[in-house]
Amino acid sequence: MEIGLEAKDIDMFIETKIRSIVKSISWRILATLTTVSLVFIFFHRIDIALELGGVEIVAKMFIYYFHERAWDKIKFGKVAISPFVVWLTGLPKSGKTTIGNNLFRLLQKEGIKVQRLDSKEVRALFPETGFTREARDEHIKRIGYLTSILEQNGVSSVASFVSPYKESRDFVRKNTKNFVEVYVKASVETCIKRDKEGMYERALKGEIINFTGVSDVYEEPTEAEIVVDTEKLTPDEAAQKIYKYLKKKFLNVRRL
């Protein structure tokens, strides 16, 4: 299945530190020259400077406006940030949702335009979606299509879905530009211990069919960009590990 859309490169921009510093210095020089010039032109006396403070404030407001407009047209110091898709996959109760929520908050603090997509919430929008292999593949491809649309429009996404089959995950990878697969690793035994809702117990009794890790296979990622073992890492530590990877690969543009 191919996505029949022509991808467009839509980048976000943030300012580097050096750009902000140069802007601040240039503004202060301009503001100081404005003050000195006003005093000299009108009075030729330095002691009148304080009386012209009010005039200077008004003048600075207008000058700063045009100063900012001019800098908006200058490309120096602007670094493009391409949107990305973080795809968290793993067994039910492996910790995907909690880690995804933590990562989402970290990216929001960074000022990144990002959308959160989680299996439980998205499933509620498609209540008729089944749990057969075919239905699950179609569901993941549908979400993958959505993430590609977000990416094309400059919005990153953090998606957490069991997505047990390699084929559907590869579909999302193929149809997005900056795909980051995160394998949220945990054993079935550990996931059972975490399952306060008793889903694994019901699946073991045969009350739930096609349950990943019990009556249906989970195809472990072999080429994931990141692996977070939630038997060794807390959700916060796992989110930080993913965040550091993203910062190094996509967000590390604030260096001088």
Active site residues: 163
CA distance 232 to 137: 30
* β strands within the chain, DSSP E: 12-15, 78-81, 85-89, 114-118, 156-160, 179-185, 226-229
CA distance 243 to 113: 15
Helix extents (H) in the chain: 17-42, 53-72, 96-109, 119-125, 133-152, 166-174, 188-194, 199-204, 235-246
- Total residue length of the chain: 256
> Is the Cβ–Cβ distance between 115 and 150 less than 8 Å?
yes
* β strands within 38-178, DSSP E: 78-81, 85-89, 114-118, 156-160
* Relative orientation angle of helices 166-174 and 133-152, to the nearest 10 degrees: 20
Cβ neighbourhood burial of 120 (10 Å; 0-12, 13-18, 19+): exposed
CA distance 92 to 161: 9
